[in-house]
Structure 1
Amino acid sequence: MQNPEGGPVLVGVTGEQPESVPERGVAFAKAFDRDVVFAWVDTTQYTSGFMSDGTVAFTTFDPDPSAEGDPDITWLDERAKAAADSAGVAWTTRVGAGQPSAVLGAMADEIGASMIVVGTREPGFIAGLQEFLGGSVAAHLAHTQSRPVVVVPLLPADKDGRVPWEPEA
């Protein structure tokens, strides 16, 4: 593990979230003169081992052997480049598999991240159900990390607006 005081900013990203999460991660990296590592966690797979060359082997939760193999993650490099290059911040990407907060926490330990930046959950019934069943990634990280966890609101409520957990009027 590297020294987290001088480590990079780890930013958890998904393909669907607004640019505010990677952009805020880059802003912190630039403000603290750090590199940024953009990480995506595939929740449909889990880490099953390590190859002799150090690469990670993933296995799908889906028992159907005809299911697609590795997902297309070219979007991750594209998002990283778009967010970091214009700010002049050095960046890399990483991919993990499994439960997001556990994987991001392990990545943060491995790279000696100075902080972890994640977004809030996306609004909607399915996202709410997933959070109810699996818990909030941000909350899990906030309770298990010794480093700061920054939570970027994806769709902030207006000052007088309804927050996601309040019932509709």
Structure 2
Amino acid sequence: AKGDWIHILNSDDYYYSNNSLEIFFSEDTTKFDIVAHSIMVKNVFCGNDILSKCDPEYLYDINVYRLPHAGVFIKKEFHELNGYYSEKYKILSDSMFLIKNLPKANFKINKIPLVVMLDSGVSSKFSLIRTYEFLVYNFIYFKGPLKFKLKYTLLNLKGDLQLLLKQIKDLFVKNN
């Protein structure tokens, strides 16, 4: 990367408006390592263009965050000091990086949406790799109490089961 900030826009994501980057660069970001913006999520499975807003949040005391990856900008210098995303994880490498490094970062949350994220990407579909990476994330990196880890794991596994059943149903409908 040649600039001062790194922003990863996945293949099915796009900027919310033509001036999204101008909005970001007009902010005073000099004292921050990470800036997290809200995103708009487009539910492609519903077959409509309804967008729902997803705001970033971080609970310091238990090191829980919800920073939608499409809205996260990381200062290049911060990556150079703290490393980059691990290639060991294929789906949640951004989450692993953030949960490990947010406690030492100066970061800012901005609720102006800059990106539209389609929920049809690999992190929104059932896969054993995704489930495995989530379990590693939840039990190794997440610092919250065990009761919360178990509850969060059960909710995620329930979501994985729903994704799997939907994929099976879609496959069945497609083949008939």
Decide: shared fold, TM above 0.5: no
Structure number with the higher helix fraction is 2
Instruction: Tell me which interval the TM-score lies in, with the shorter structure as reference length.
Output: under 0.3
TM-score (norm 2): 0.26
Q: Give the TM-score of the pair, scaled to structure 1.
A: 0.26
